[in-house]
Amino acid sequence: MNNSISGFSKLSKEEKINWIAKEYFANSTEAVATIKQYWNNDAQLQQLHDEFIENTITNFYLPMGIAPNFLINGKYYSVPMVIEESSVVAAAAKSAKFWSTRGGFKATVLNTEKIGQVHFLFNGDSVKLQQFFNSIKGNLLASTESITQNMQKRGGGITSLELRDKTSELENYFQLHATFETKDSMGANFINSCLEQLAKSLKEEAQNYNGFTEEERDIVIVMSILSNYVPNCIVRVEVSCKVEDLAEKKIENPKEFAEKLVQAIRIAEIEPFRAVTHNKGIMNGVDAVVLATGNDFRAVEAGVHAYASREGHYSSLSHAKVENGIFTFWMEIPLALGTVGGLTSLHPLVKMALEILGKPSAPELMQIVAVAGLAQNFAALRSLTTTGIQEGHMKMHINNILNQYQTTTEERKIIRNHFENNTISHASVVAFIENLRK
């Protein structure tokens, strides 16, 4: 079996499916049936999904759930979440309910600056290059006006442009470092179009600059691209209450609980092995809402984890303290999000998710997403410092095990009754199913 093919992209959808089925599956008929099982019956809607990416053969489903009762800045939200991991939505909803009776979440957008760079090589005098840049900066910005005019009408555009000398790190390497305001769009296409125009104009201006030698005029553009590291596109979220108000069914000693939670976060602040898992829990909440609202969770992940390393070592994104009897739990994270453009106007469920959230602006969505992350983190820390993480997680995970073994309704009833008072693990559930079927 070769498994290589030339011209795959030129095949029809049916031909692609037939080739995959024939090459990789013993039962090609069954494989084709499984692939087509996930097609949408509405041909127009299916075509819409087909055209999101290249070489599509089917749809890949993820569950979309709702975590209600999020009180954010005095307003209630029901938050759509798209994720495959059990217990995430339940944990977020539980945290939302917990804090809704304790003042809710406070969220503030600190800044919305985004960044892009033109990376280029210049073999010459850096002082002359700076003088050149100062003389043509206005021309560079003017050359982007056809791209920026609509964004400027909405209050956005290029907010700064500077030359950066990076030759101490890489020979002949310089940057045009630009900052942007993109309002309610994430702005990737806008930023990249501006950068490519800046690069083109920079090269043209250099060719006509009398202050350069022939060699200096030959600026080499390496690449022009936005950065997903947005340390000045920041949202802060927090919750706080009196320590005694933390009391609930599973928190009988709120003072001890608060102290353990603060200690758990301090461990994540200094121990990277813990911090990675700690922050992964935050991103369970963040990514689920980012996906549901049609934003780029890979860009968000990359930017957030870079931010977690900004002090030279990887550390916790969230923090907590107890002062004067008040427990405070907070987080600041970078989030470059959009509520217009991209999938937000194309994917029917993305449009529904934004409707459920009240058609938020990009800054409002930043707040909601960050709150979901902090709520998820609180839920994880509450479990870790009280009952342990596995109790709630395995109660939710048992559904996956029961589905995997195709249990009947009667079997499910017996199994659930048994594990009401017994420790749940994958092995123990499987063993019980096997014994039950004997």
Following DSSP, what letter does each residue of 289-350 receive, concatenated?
HHHHTT--HHHHHHHHHHHTTTTSS---SEEEEEETTEEEEEEEEE----SBSGGGGT-HHH
Greatest Cα pair distance in the chain: 90
Distance CA 195, CA 144 (A): 9
pTM recorded for the entire structure: 0.88
- What's residue 406's pLDDT? 84
- In the annotation, is 434 catalytic? no
Domain contains 58:
no
Domain range for 133 is 114-227
3-state secondary structure of 167: coil
57 occurs within a structural domain? no
Residue 2 inside a domain? The answer is no
Q: Which two tokens stand for residue 107?
A: 């969220």
Domain assignment of residue 60, yes or no: no
- The answer to whether residues 371 and 248 belong to one domain is yes
| Domain limit, last residue, from 193, 211, 227 | 227
Q: Are strands 157-165 and 75-82 parallel, antiparallel or unpaired?
A: unpaired
Structural domain contains residue 413: yes
Give dist(CA 230, CA 235) in Å, integer: 11
Amino acid 344: pLDDT: 87
What CA–CA distance (Å, rounded) separates 433 from 438? Answer: 9
Q: Please name the amino acid found at residue 272.
A: P
Whether 16 and 93 map to the same domain: the answer is: no
Give the active site residue among 50, 85, 125, 165.
85
- Do the Cβ atoms of 325 and 217 come closer than 8 Å? no
Please give the torsion angle defined by the CA atoms of residues 114, 119, 125 and 129, in that order, rounded to the nearest 10 degrees: -50
84 shares its domain with 120: no
In terms of domains, do 210 and 306 share one?
Answer: no
Secondary element (H or E) of residue 179: strand 173-181
Specify if 242 maps to a domain.
yes
State the Cα–Cα distance between residues 426 and 423, nearest whole angstrom.
10
Q: What is the pLDDT along the chain (438 residues), one digit of tens a residue?
A: 568 999 999 999 999 999 999 999 999 999 999 999 999 999 999 999 999 999 999 999 999 999 999 999 999 999 999 999 989 999 999 999 999 999 999 999 999 999 999 999 999 999 999 999 999 999 999 999 999 999 999 999 999 999 999 999 999 999 999 999 999 999 999 999 999 999 999 999 999 999 999 999 999 999 999 999 999 999 999 999 999 999 998 899 999 999 999 999 999 999 999 999 999 999 999 999 999 999 999 999 999 999 999 999 999 999 999 999 999 999 999 999 999 988 888 999 999 999 999 999 999 999 999 999 999 999 999 999 987 655 555 666 677 788 888 888 888 888 888 887 777 777 888 888 888 888
pLDDT score of 12: 97
Residues 334 and 432 in one domain: no
Looking at the fold, whether 250 and 304 belong to one and the same domain comes out as: yes
Structure tokens at 310: 């900004």
Helix and strand numbers (H, E) in the chain are 16, 10
- Whether residue 85 lies in the annotated active site: yes
Q: pLDDT tens digits, residue range 233-262?
A: 999 999 999 999 999 988 999 999 999 999
- Output the domain CATH number for residue 284: 3.90.770.10
Closest of 357, 356, 358, 364 to residue 338, by C-alpha: 364
Residue 358 lies in a domain: yes
Q: Are residues 198 and 120 in the same domain?
A: yes
Catalytic residue status for 311: no
pLDDT at 94: 96
| pLDDT tens digits, 65-85 | 999 999 999 999 999 999 999
- Residue 32 structure tokens: 């084709």
Indicate if 377 and 427 belong to the same structural domain. no
| Domain's final residue, options 199, 227, 255 | 227
CB atoms within 10 A of CB 115: 19
Catalytic-residue membership of 145: no
CATH number (domain holding residue 211): 3.30.70.420
Please report which helix (H) or strand (E) contains residue 33, including its range: helix 28-37
Q: Which two tokens stand for residue 52?
A: 């999101």
pLDDT attached to residue 83? 98
Q: How many CA atoms lie within 13 A of 220 on its CB side?
A: 9
Domain boundary among 212, 227, 242: 227
375 and 252, same structural domain?
A: yes
Query: How many Cα atoms sit within 13 Å of 76 on the Cβ side?
Result: 8
Catalytic residue, from 128, 280, 305, 395: name it.
Answer: 280
Residues 338 and 396 in one domain: no
pLDDT of residue 300: 98
What lies within 8 Å, CB to CB, of 298 at 6+ separation is none
In total, how many domains does the chain have? 4
Same domain, 266 and 363: yes
Residue with tokens 């339940």: 90
Task: Please indicate, yes or no, whether residues 121 and 249 belong to a single structural domain of this protein.
Answer: no
The secondary structure of residue 244, as a DSSP letter, is: G
**Is 344 part of a structural domain of the chain?**
yes
